Structure 1
Amino acid sequence: MDVKAIREMFPILNQEINGHPLVYLDSSATAQKPITVIEAVNDYYRKNNANVHRGVHTLGSRATDQYEGAREKVRQFLHAKSTAEIIFTRGTTTSINMVAYGYARHQLKKGDEIVITPMEHHSNIIPWQQAAKATGATLKYIPLQEDGTITLDDVKKTVTTNTKIVAITHVSNVLGTINPVKEIAQIAHQNGAIFVVDGAQGAPHMEVDVQDLDCDFYALSGHKMGAPTGIGVLYGKKDLLEVMEPVEFGGEMIDFVDLYDSTWKELPWKFEGGTPIIAGAIGLGAAIDFLQDVGMENILKHEEQLADYALEKMRTIDGIEIYGPEKRAALVTFNLDDVHPHDVATVLDAEGIAVRAGHHCAQPLMKWLDVTATARASFYLYNTTEDIDRLVEGLLKTKEYFNHVF
């Protein structure tokens, strides 16, 4: 993989921040956009801007072809059976909420169980909390091991015949834990439950085959994989989407409207009320083209090397605490001595290095770690070992600064 050539495709990386070349290590929050994505969105607005599925004029036909063409690219990317199983949404948060509101609230009853883990992003906790409160179902948690992983034995102990929904992240946005989602799907199904995967941190970094995983729903966000913000996907098995209720009503998703009743369009448009995120979907299609040109296997291998290198180099720093398992996705979450993570991020920013600091939308996990906040460096296909060297240098400067001042 020619990382130098890849970096040249990302114009934002060619700049200085506070007098230093930018080192962007916050791709878990949002990935940078390749020029091909920027041009695809620009091209739509310059040449083909029109609403989809409505006008019969040329611009409308072009826009519809691009929009539905992007859906087919997503289908291929996820290895779904049909484009009817690909719903465009605003992102992972919206996708999970759609399942929690459109499926769970209509299917659950008192005595049923929803099973998740403490490592979940808030977007995969709060919708299930609310669904449990609305239906009388019970919310249960699979316990974590000391290194932030879960065991299949604990999954089997937690999931019972009363469990109706299991919802787990593919990859933890804090710990980098890669969960055994295929095996968890089998356990869920053996107990009669459906399985929902939060794929926000999975789909951008590794090959995802929803049929092989046998998940019932898979949610992802485009902006974490080089697409524009505001576009995401909900994959769902067709039979489940058929019984699931829409959560937004209005134009585009209707078949027939009478004064006192209405019927819905067939899948996938049943869940895409109103003018859809046309430019975002086209940008997502271009991002998928870019990722597949590079190769998802190549991306995963490159990121594994970066993660190993980062762990090796960062562990040489005295007073650093690193969270998560040895085998992990391409991110390292850490704390440095008694320096607050926000101070760490501020000093690093002065060196042109962008990292995330805070609770990472995972407050239950922060409580489990017994910290209020952490710093996180996350990597993507455009990062290099030199970026990690800069990070280590920046952390050493941070230690020196605070040791001197205090």
Structure 2
Amino acid sequence: MSFQIPRGTQDILPGEVEKWQLIEEKAKELCRKYNYHEIRTPIFEHTDLFQRGVGDTTDIVQKEMYTFKDRGDRSLTLRPEGTASVVRSFVQNKLFGDPQQPTKLYYIGPMFRYERPQKGRTRQFVQFGIEALGSNDPAIDAEVMALAMELYQELGLKHLKLIVNSLGDTESRIAHREALVSHFRPVIGELCEDCQNRIDANPLRILDCKKDRSHPKMASAPSILEYLNDSSRGYFEQVKAYLDELNVPYEVDATLVRGLDYYNHTAFEIMSEAPGFGAITTLSGGGRYNGLVEDIGGPETPGIGFAMSLERFLVALEAEQIDLPIQKGIDCYLVTLGEGPKKRSMSILNDLRRAGLTADRDYLERKMKAQFKAADRLNTKYVLVLGEDELAKDVINVKDMNTGEQVEMPINEATEYLLKGIEGGTRS
């Protein structure tokens, strides 16, 4: 019987997984600079967390969640996004009581959504995100966007566009909601079933509809920017001013609403404008979610964050033909001849690895020539040769594979010799 992985999932193999690791390492390094700390939450949560936190009217909750009953007949769901879980943990563990505020967190991990698989969009995907909880300062909105842009730029992406919008506070959204209902009600029968359901539940989501995006009423729909009250308008102006101060270019797009119910005030997306990237250009997105903490049972706490798909990140790098600086090859490979050298090679390997070097040896009983070929395939910096004669004299031959130079030295001096050579610049 032949087994295949489920549709919408992927195996990330050696040679490719190093790219993922590099992005993850860069993300963690950047978060340390911005004073964000890692949080790890369960891969599955109680279903009602996402129903309440993400929103009953969203496509995620209505169509895309992997939900199941456990043996105790409890409804559980594989997490489709990271924010709800982070906020749940923030409330449950009373992180709001920490005197150091705001609470600045980041996460990296798999998420799950049942949707049509395509390039850069899978049913199990890896998401990196940050959440800043506890501050109403528009400066932190700008910081969150700047961090996202910086991560893309650090790895070489150039064809980027940041689009921003304000969804306003509760008063502004109520006024805009009424205007949207009045605008779409006369033609609601011409729109898809989802839009017909949303007109009363959440008319703002109509603007995010993929099926009816070309309908004439979409282009003429009332803009949220026309309904911002003075407070919301002032907040948005400050966010833009901070982006200007950070020299982060952006465009205002009044049609940007994001796909989750919990957003208010600042909303943003980062798009790829690389030629050939594809029809779906969004790389990441986020926004402010004041009110979400209270919805999940915590005290009144403002928050803002973003999330990015690593799969989409890699597609963007491919579109811009960027080769990541992945370290290839190993530091040293031991070639042994005879049973005695083979046995001694294990302690030599152990010493090399404990010193921080990448080292390997033959485990297939190959001849000397085949062992050297194996070293070549591994792109080895140095080959160490140990035969019975060398072992008897307690020496080892060390060959620099870049220069071809070969020297014989005491075995106990080889590690220090290799460290000096590799630290001198031969490590790729």
* TM-score interval for Structure 1 and Structure 2 normalised by the shorter chain: under 0.3
Highest Rg: 1 or 2? 2
Query: How does the TM-score come out when normalised to structure 1?
Result: 0.24
Higher strand share: 2
Query: How does the TM-score come out when normalised to structure 2?
Result: 0.23
Higher RCO (CA < 8 A, seq sep 6+): 1
